[in-house]
Structure 1
Amino acid sequence: MTFSMDSEPQPDMPPHPAAEQESDLDTLLNAHFAGRVVRKDLTQRVKEGANVPVYVLEYLLGMYCATDDPEVIDEGLKNVKTILTDNYVRPDEAEKVKSLVRERGSFKVIDRVTVRLNEKQDCYEAAFSNLGIKDAEISAGIVKEHEKLLVGGIWVIATLSYYHEEGQRGSPFGVSQLKPIQMPHMNMEELFEGRRGFTTDQWREVLIRSIGMEPAELDAEVQWHLLARMIPFVENNYNVCELGPRGTGKSHIYKECSPNSILVSGGQTTVANLFYNMSSRRIGLVGMWDLVAFDEVAGISFKDKDGVQIMKDYMASGSFARGREQMEASASMVFIGNINQSVESLVKTSHLLTPFPDAMIDAAFFDRFHAYIPGWEIPKMRPSFFTQRYGFIVDYLAEFFREMRKRSFADAIDQHFRLGDNLNQRDV
């Protein structure tokens, strides 16, 4: 189709209702949450070049591009790309970055950092996953301030220093400053005030947009399923399982959208790693993260015989016993798995929990789930499902989720329902 400059002027077409609604939502978000929202297509544009979680990119975009002014966005985008080019460590350029640290004396890097205690030297050592440094010295003060460094690690902007002298026993690398890539604080009153400017449907669409999806392309039913994926972020000890076909984005939100959740890839795990390490006397993942998600449930296996039993105890009460210790934690558990055949044939030949390993096929274990998300009702992800419009910076969203864990809505059901006497206590 071709157009010429001197063609007849066309009569103004009325805007499409969906497009009008989208721009309304953009206007509302920028009016009520100025500086807290970002255009999601910017994330996609930067994401393609850097293999970092969405919350890391949007933390940077939020610093430079949280506006609807096109000039400021373009300038901000250049800044973000420059920071990623100069400071994000690509594994293949690790040696070059180490050389820069040595030559300059100190250098800022963006990387995932985990810390361990070296008992022999009585010091903490930081390991940088992309940089390949395993033993950079880090002060106890920094570790105390950010305990997640000890369990699973976090993405940070770290200032590395270099000091070497004759006969030195430890690594010449050290961490002089460290800033986690997440919001320092959250003003909930500001958020509640902004929320009053939206209807319930609009707010649902804002939440869907904030995780990068376009509500105009998704049925309301699918949007509710996507919201159900978010419940474990806002509820303590909420256990959910989602089984469905591949390609429906089951693990995306748990891996990319919050610095407070950890995705454990399928495979062997230990009670020490997950719950409590008796030799180091440290609580495991459930004590350090708001949400522990298991990808590919078919592959889960515990090295310890009592692993599944401890998991059952924890899922029932939020506590577990190790040795003489009784521990409590609030992490929600999420189990994700693939169903490789149609649901109809699965129901005819077996049951809807077939992907779980044999050790977990147990009515008492499944009784502890609060919800089962039917993954086969969520369509496979297509490019048109990803939004190009405004949504919350995921870091802001994650902090909002985290604050909501402190508030209880356990009695909300009483306003609308009365549960009969036939339910046992666990069902209630």
Structure 2
Amino acid sequence: MTSDEEKQTDQKALLEKLEEYLPGRFVRKDLTARIKEGANVPTYVLEFLLGQYANGSDPVTIERGVENVKKTLANNYVRQDEAEKVKSKIRENGSYTVIDTVTVKLNEKLDRYEASFSNLNLEGVPVDEQYPKQYERLLIGGIWSIVRLSYDHESEDHFVIDSLTPVQVPSIDMQEIKDARQHFTTDEWLDLLLRTIGMEPDQFDKRVKLLLIARLIPFVENNYNLVELGPRGTGKSHVYKELSPNTILVSGGQTTVANLFYNMARHEVGLVGMWDVVAFDEVAGINFKDQDGIQIMKDYMASGSFVRGRTEVQASAGMVFVGNINQSVDVLLRTSNLFEPFPPEMGTDTAFLDRIHAYLPGWEIPKYKPAFFTKGYGLITDYMAEVMRELRKTGYGDVIEEYFTLGAQLNQRDTIAVRKTVSGMIKLLFPDGKFTKDELEEVLQFALEMRRRVKEQLKKIGGMEFYDVNFSYIDRESGEEKFVTVPEQGSATLIPSGTEKPGYVYTIQYDDSGRLSLFKLESQQMPGKGKLEKAGVGYNRGTREGMDTAMRRLESHYADIDQRIMPKKHNYVVQISNLNGNGISEHMALATYISLISISVGRSTLDSMVVLGDMTVGGSIDKITNLADTLQVAKDSGAKSVLLPSSAMSQMSEVPADLFGAFTWVTYQTVEEAAFKAFGLG
């Protein structure tokens, strides 16, 4: 049997299971694409209609149902360019049914609720108070609805709402899902979930499948905070816009505390109180009009509550942040961090970033192409949305305890994050709560990786406070401890392995923005009269003076190093580059001195070495501040050996043991000793 025949056999077997255990709850997913053209409505709206007219697998029933859905959309879906035509129909016919996004507001002056229709371009339509009471989301953001409108010639308002039915499943029986799940293998259920969100599982490996499903965790887990950054065209925002009427995608970036959290003037809870998931599209553009917006967001992300005035508000909406990374992950890891696309007030706020439970590596998900979209059968999207909403009422965060304990380097926030990710994945993959130890271990490893990715970037941004990133778990039965890494940490480092060219020197110093950065110095030598040209330093006076100090030291002490150097018979060019950003440092005298000697004698420094410390005009050695953080930058940059002043050894008690063991240590007491030892001499 060929691979194509095997796939057809597997899909036929899955269809038979769907027909037996979930009858009427599934549709053929390519039908959505067939009827979506010309109707710019979310997938869950189309599949709500397909669920009424075209569920099942009988070809005749499907085709008849598709025609009914097309007819319904053609007759009732309101296109913006046909709004006046539809209004005319309502007036001339007396009544008419429309499908549109409806938002309800309270008109305090008239003491009544009024509806606005998005595509129909109709506002101020009186609506019975039963609807906003029964469907609160009409008040925040609006919801797709099927509405019967009539026309009253004698009333000032004219348009009247006879009936309003939001597009959502009225109720579900969770036992149906639990019973059905037992008849599917884990791989079959995973494939069913992927087809439910429109993806063809045969196009992806297991890793990508899990990443795609992880996008759904905020749908099933209360107060779950997720970040996904990656290339364009990978469907990052798709599920938050198309998959469920219980989520809202905030586009455009700018928002207010009143809109998102609480309107004090109206005493109304904002988006977080009305939706299960609030997703922000294009994180780079997020902007709060209110100064306290980010602080309130931090409070909410940590506890699920916030205080406005005298009111404390509890809510369960998850916060999702999606956006684009415009360069390769390797480059981003070498020059910045994986939160770099966030606006500065968020991307450098470690307290905010520490509240993120998982960072989904969007760069691992391939860009969408036609073959990725399934033609197979999946659950009706709206039905799945309500199943996920019901799953929010249960929790599986404690299931780890039966088989595993978490390692010592996970703090309280790490533990909460891992438990929430485990709980969410268990709900999605095992809604009946039945799974094996091996299946739980796979989910646990995934959860640890997603949180460690957050912690690794916090370490880059916040230093030693977030040093504990070696996440692990312990098997209770065997006592074996297993460590979980993140794949991208194996990326190429800034300091290459092996021997560099003469004149190349690396040093770590604070730049003029106050950030610890890795600097690379490159020197050239040519015949001349002792002139030093400084490149890459701009007009920074302190840096230039430090480099001049190095040149004068070379002129006065070269004979102590090698009499053949003769600096007055050569000209030099020294270029300095900040490999972590754009800033420059004033503490470049010692590194420049070693770089000049290196190019003069044709010797390279020790393999993968960083030079720490600086010298004064008089040749004294400056004290190193914040040694532990400096060494962490050295390790992250790929350094294998460190040249540092002997006085710094008194600070070694501050350096964690595994960081201490990461380097070969070379110490010096004088400027000339530093030069000799940098080349492995003396």
Give yes or no for TM over 0.5: yes
Aligned-partner SS, 2:66:
helix
8 Å contact kept, 2:225–2:356: yes
Read off the aligned partner of 2:22 and give its amino acid letter: F
Aligned-partner residue type, residue 125 of structure 2 = A
Note the C-alpha offset of 1:422. Answer: 4.4
Aligned partner letter, 1:249: G
Residue 378 of structure 2 is aligned to residue 391 of structure 1: yes
Q: CA deviation at 1:403?
A: 0.2
Partner of 1:426, secondary structure, is: helix
Does residue 67 of structure 1 match 2:53?
Answer: no
Deviation at 1:18, TM superposition (A): 2.4
After superposition, what is the alpha-carbon deviation per residue over 1:34-83, rounded to whole angstroms, capped at 9, x for unaligned?
10000001111011231100000000001111111111111111111110
Is the partner of 2:180 in helix, strand or coil? helix
**Aligned runs of 1:274-423 on 2, under 5 Å?**
274-361=260-347, 362-423=349-410
Is structure 2 residue 25 aligned with structure 1 residue 33?
no
CA gap of 1:18–1:110, structure 2 versus 1, over 3 A, is same
| Inter-partner Cα distance in structure 1 for 2:134 and 2:305 | 25
- What is the CA–CA distance in structure 1 between the aligned matches of 2:7 and 2:69, rounded to whole Å? 31
Deviation at 1:19, TM superposition (A): 2.6
Q: Does 1:139 align with 2:125?
A: no
Give, in whole Å, the separation in 2 of the partners of 1:342 and 1:176: 55
State the SS of the aligned residue for 1:192.
Answer: helix
Match of 1:106 in 2: 95
Cα displacement (A) at 1:347: 1.0
1: distance between equivalents of 2:359 and 2:253?
22
The residue number in structure 2 matching 1:245 is 231
Aligned to 1:180: 166
- Aligned position for 1:424: 411
Q: Which amino acid aligns with 2:38?
A: G
Give the counterpart letter for 1:240 in structure 2: L
The answer for the alignment partner of 1:201 in structure 2 is: 187
Note if contact 1:208-1:227 (Cα within 8 Å) is conserved in structure 2.
Answer: yes
Q: Deviations over 1:222-273 (max 9, x none)?
A: 1000011000000000000000000000000000010000000032100000
Q: Tell me the equivalent position of 2:196.
A: 210
**So what's the TM-score if we normalise by structure 2?**
0.60
Q: Which amino acid aligns with 2:36?
A: K
Please identify the structure whose Cα radius of gyration is greater: 2
Secondary structure, aligned partner of 1:158: strand
Q: Which has the higher contact order (CA 8 A, sep 6+)?
A: 1
1:91 is aligned to 80
- Give the residue type in structure 2 aligned to 1:350: S
Take 2:394 and 2:19, find their aligned partners in 1: how far apart are those partners?
A: 27
Residue 115 of structure 1: aligned partner:
104
- In structure 2, the partner of 1:24 is 13
Q: Secondary structure at the match of 2:234?
A: coil
Task: Measure how far apart 1:15 and its partner are.
Answer: 5.8
Are the equivalent residues in 2 in contact too, given 1:266–1:298 (CA < 8 A)? no
In structure 2, C-alpha distance between the alignment counterparts of 1:24 and 1:216, rounded to whole Å: 15
Aligned partner of 1:159 in structure 2 is 148
Asked whether the 8 Å contact 1:266–1:297 carries over to 2, the reply is no
Measured against aligned partners, the alpha-carbon deviations of 1:303-339 in whole angstroms (never above 9, x if no partner) come to 0000000000000000000000011000000000100
Displacement of 1:421 after TM fit?
4.5
1:122-133 equivalences under 5 Å are: 122-133=111-122
Instruction: Summarize deviations over 1:373-406 as a string: whole Å, max 9, x none.
Output: 0000000000000000100000011011000000
Give the structure 2 partner of residue 6 of structure 1. none
Cα shift at 1:27: 1.9
Number of the residue aligned with 2:32: 43
Distance 1:356 1:75, change over 3 A: same
**Where does the alignment leave 5 or more consecutive residues of structure 1 unmatched?**
1-11
Q: How many angstroms does 1:190 deviate by?
A: 1.0
Residue 154 (structure 1) shift: 0.2
1:427 is paired with a residue whose SS is: helix
Query: Over residues 175-206 of structure 1, what are the superposed CA-to-partner deviations in whole Å (9 max), with x where a residue is unaligned?
Result: 12000111000100111111111011111111
What SS class does the counterpart of residue 387 from structure 1 fall into?
A: coil
Tell me the equivalent position of 2:214: 228
- Whole-angstrom CA distance in 2 between matches of 1:47 and 1:182: 18
Does 1:148 pair with 2:134?
A: no
1:135 partner SS: strand
* Distance in 2 (alpha carbons) for counterparts of 1:31 and 1:72: 17
| Distance apart, 1:424 and its partner CA | 2.5
Distance 1:14 1:270 in 2: 54
Distance in structure 1 (CA, Å) of the matches to 2:399 and 2:38: 45
Contact 2:253 2:280 in 1 (8 A): no
| Deviation of the 1:416 alpha carbon | 3.0
**Deviation at residue 149 of structure 1 after TM alignment:** 0.4
Match of residue 4 from structure 1:
none
- What letter corresponds to residue 403 of structure 1 in structure 2? E
CA distance in 1, matches of 2:325, 2:4: 42
Query: 1:13 Cα deviation (Å)?
Result: 7.1
Structure 2 residues without counterparts, runs of 5 or longer: 416-682
Q: 1:399 to 1:416 in 2, by over 3 A?
A: same
Deviation at 1:419, TM superposition (A): 2.1
Give per-residue Cα distances to partners, 1:111-145, cap 9 Å, x unaligned. 00001111111111100000000111101112211
**Distance in 2 between the 1:423 and 1:344 partners?**
26
The amino acid of 1:17's aligned partner reads E
**Paired letter, 1:179:** T
Which amino acid in 2 is paired with 1:330? S
Going from structure 1 to structure 2, the CA distance change for 1:294 and 1:14 (only over 3 Å counts) comes to: closer
> CA separation in 2, counterparts of 1:419 and 1:14?
41
For residues 184 and 317 of structure 1, the distance between their equivalents in structure 2, rounded to whole angstroms, comes to 30
Q: Give deviations 1:327-370, integer Å, cap 9, x for gaps.
A: 10000000001001111111111110000001112111111011
